[in-house]
Amino acid sequence: MTMPTDTEAALGLDDYRALAARQQPTWPDAEALGRVTARLAAAPPLVVPSEMDQLTARLAAAGRGEAFLLQGGDCAETFAEAQADRIRNKIRTLLQMAVVLTHGASMPVVKMGRMAGQYAKPRSTDTETRDGVTLPAYRGDMVNAHAFTREDRVPDPERLVAGYEISAATLAVVRAFTAGGGADLRRVHEWNRGFTRNPAYARYERTAREIDRAIRFMAACGADFDALQSVEMFVSHEALLLDYERALTRVDTRSGRAYDTSGHFLWIGERTRQLDGAHVDFLARVANPIGVKLGPTTSPDDALALMDRLNPAGTPGRLTFITRMGAAQIRTALPPLVAAVHAHGAPVTWVTDPMHGNTITSASGYKTRRFDDVLDEVRGFFEVHHAEGSVPGGLHVELTGDDVTEVLGGSEEIDDDGLALRYETLVDPRLNHQQSLEMAFQVAEMLQRR
Ligand SMILES: O=C[C@H](O)[C@H](O)COP(=O)(O)O
Ligand SMILES: C=C(OP(=O)(O)O)C(=O)O
Ligand SMILES: [Mn+2]
């Protein structure tokens, strides 16, 4: 660890070190870890304060119902898949979903990847046993490797540096694609893939045609569409590994505030949101827009205490609650939280993660989710906010731009046998490209009704 400056000490950036931090790897060599974090502490930031402040403003708008957040990407990004074509497929998928949502609901969409840093995973168990052999659990590429050997599973701090470098490379693709004309709405057709026999693709094609017509009409009227050349896209990940997040935190000389420059938006997971824990303490001290996952056991008092700790000034857009209740629970578990937050009065942006409360094991043994359950949780989320008079501000999903078979159902009706065809995720099942589009069409309809 490098010595904190006086400003860093005054901001309490290292206070978390005295608190319990769950879900941290057991690094075998503390000195090696210290050398790595010192290198990261001297490395250039991946994102800058002005971008994060811009995102806070966007999320505030989503909290008021003037925009909608679309946040998506892998459960666990991997170093091996940080390839230009894979990254572009993911960006295109998000852009297509955003087009569908914007077109269907006439609402600006804030686009955010679970990308360029989503390399660390909390796990339900510390170890994994196969055929009588027990090894440390896989905790994401930034900690250890997935292959089931002792050597691969030992946490290696050099992976933190690799994660930083691969995040930088991923971000470069995101920035080039979204600023260099790749995301220009006039190319809306080019992002479609696959056979238009598929209902989701056919429907997308119709949307793209309507957008084309509207653009041609407006262009004929003299509108200037050069502003469409670049699209704003943000990156986010779970702030799990505090050694990494702390090392990338910089004090902004202009505002005197600390920003975690590892990603624009950071969230605290369901397993690490303890009020007296290290994650809450650390994220309370950085100025990024942040999120907290809230599972079905969250009490109204937990939610209120998190608001007071993480957003004492009540800044709009600073705090997002990402609820992940499960389709069966959302309609009973969410209303008391919404009511308590409403009575408290400070702004919160409400987002639904319909993935993590709906995980099941298929008969053939795959960790999967039913597309219908996922959709039902989103529906429940809209229903509850409608009934409570609050704002459903966004959607958080695990997805990929590739044609994997990890989630059951959807218009291609992936069944238990179908999962085996292309099940590639290392942790949680992701919507594939086509299921992602289908989800966007459904959510656009819910937004329209809102
Ligand atoms: O992505 C979320 C969690 O890291 C994941 O669901 C944990 O999975 P596990 O229960 O297999 O450890
Ligand atoms: C770990 C995750 O979720 P949660 O904290 O909600 O379980 C995740 O988003 O991958
Ligand atoms: Mn996950």
Summarised one tens digit per residue, pLDDT across range 333-389 is 999 999 999 999 999 999 999 999 999 999 999 999 999 999 999 999 999 999 999
Residue 196 has pLDDT above 80, yes or no: no
Q: Whose CA is closest to 342, among 297, 303, 309?
A: 303
Regarding the beta carbon of 123 and ligand 1, being less than 6 Å apart is answered: yes
- Residue 93's domain comprises 31-183+230-448
Closest protein CA for atom 3 of ligand 2? 269
Mutate to test the pocket of ligand 1, among 118, 123, 366, 430 (most ligand atoms within 8 A of CB): 123
- Rama region for 140: left / alpha / beta (φ>0; ψ in -120 to 50; rest): left
pLDDT of residue 216: 87
Q: Quick check: is 397 in a domain? A: yes
| 293 marked among binding-site residues | yes
Burial (Cβ within 10 Å: 0-12, 13-18, ≥19) of residue 63: buried
Closest protein CA for atom 10 of ligand 2? 75
Regarding the beta carbon of 401 and ligand 1, being less than 6 Å apart is answered: no
Residue 251 has pLDDT above 80, yes or no: yes
Point out the ligand 2 atom lying closest to the alpha carbon of residue 324: 6
Q: Quick check: is 307 in a domain? A: yes
Give 119-140 pLDDT, tens digit per residue. Answer: 999 999 999 999 999 999 999 9
More confident residue, 15 or 208: 15
Distance 431 CA to ligand 3 centre (A): 12
Reading the block at residue 298, the tokens are 């969250």
- Give the chain's largest Cα–Cα span: 71
pLDDT of residue 3: 86
The pLDDT confidence band at residue 194, using thresholds 50, 70 and 90, is low
Of 59-73, 109-123, 177-191, 268-282, least confident by mean pLDDT is 177-191
pLDDT of residue 228: 81
Q: Quick check: is 215 in a domain? A: no
Long-range contacts of residues 329-337, Cβ cutoff 8 Å, at least 24 apart = 329/296, 329/357, 330/357, 330/377, 330/380, 330/381, 330/384, 331/380, 331/383, 331/384, 333/296, 333/298, 334/380, 334/381, 334/384, 335/384, 335/387, 335/388, 336/300, 337/294, 337/298, 337/300, 337/303
Q: pLDDT > 90: what percent of the chain?
A: 87
Give 62-87 pLDDT, tens digit per residue. Answer: 999 999 999 999 999 999 999 999 99
Distance 430 CA to ligand 2 centre (A): 13
Closest protein CA for atom 5 of ligand 2? 269
Q: Quick check: is 428 in a domain? A: yes
| 377 marked among binding-site residues | no
Give 82-95 pLDDT, tens digit per residue. Answer: 999 999 999 999 99
Q: Whose CA is closest to 39, among 171, 169, 143, 162?
A: 162
Cα 138 to Cα 443: distance, rounded to the nearest angstrom: 33
- Rama region for 397: left / alpha / beta (φ>0; ψ in -120 to 50; rest): beta
Mutate to test the pocket of ligand 2, among 353, 359, 397 (most ligand atoms within 8 A of CB): 353
Place of tokens 């295109």: 92
CATH number reported for the structural domain that contains residue 424 in this entry: 3.20.20.70
Distance 108 CA to ligand 2 centre (A): 26
Q: Quick check: is 189 in a domain? A: no
> Does this model's pTM top 0.80?
yes
Point out the ligand 1 atom lying closest to the alpha carbon of residue 125: 12
Burial (Cβ within 10 Å: 0-12, 13-18, ≥19) of residue 154: middle
| 232 marked among binding-site residues | no
Q: pLDDT > 70: what percent of the chain?
A: 99
Regarding the beta carbon of 427 and ligand 1, being less than 6 Å apart is answered: yes
The pLDDT confidence band at residue 269, using thresholds 50, 70 and 90, is very high
Mean pLDDT taken over the chain: 96
Looking at residue 110, its amino acid is: V
pLDDT of residue 1: 66
Reading the block at residue 259, the tokens are 């920003």
More confident residue, 195 or 439: 439
Closest protein CA for atom 8 of ligand 1? 123
Closest protein CA for atom 6 of ligand 1? 428
Reading the block at residue 406, the tokens are 């990890």
Count other Cβ atoms within 10 Å, centred on residue 60: 19
Residue 226 has pLDDT above 90, yes or no: no
Give 2-61 pLDDT, tens digit per residue. Answer: 789 999 999 999 999 999 999 999 999 999 999 999 999 999 999 999 999 999 999 999
Looking at residue 353, its amino acid is: D
Q: Quick check: is 213 in a domain? A: no
Q: Quick check: is 9 in a domain? A: no
Residue 447 CA, chain-centre distance (Å), reads 20
Whether this model's ipTM surpasses 0.95 comes out as yes
Total domain count, the chain = 1
The pLDDT confidence band at residue 195, using thresholds 50, 70 and 90, is low
| 75 marked among binding-site residues | yes
Q: Quick check: is 126 in a domain? A: yes
Point out the ligand 1 atom lying closest to the alpha carbon of residue 398: 1
CA distances from 233 to 176, 198, 354 (A): 11, 28, 22
Q: What is the average per-residue pLDDT within 269-287?
A: 98
Strands 258-260 and 265-268: unpaired
User: Angle 371-388/433-449 helices, nearest 10 degrees?
Assistant: 20
| 428 marked among binding-site residues | yes
Regarding the beta carbon of 121 and ligand 1, being less than 6 Å apart is answered: yes
Torsion of the alpha carbons at 204, 209, 213 and 214, rounded to the nearest 10: 0
Distance 371 CA to ligand 3 centre (A): 15
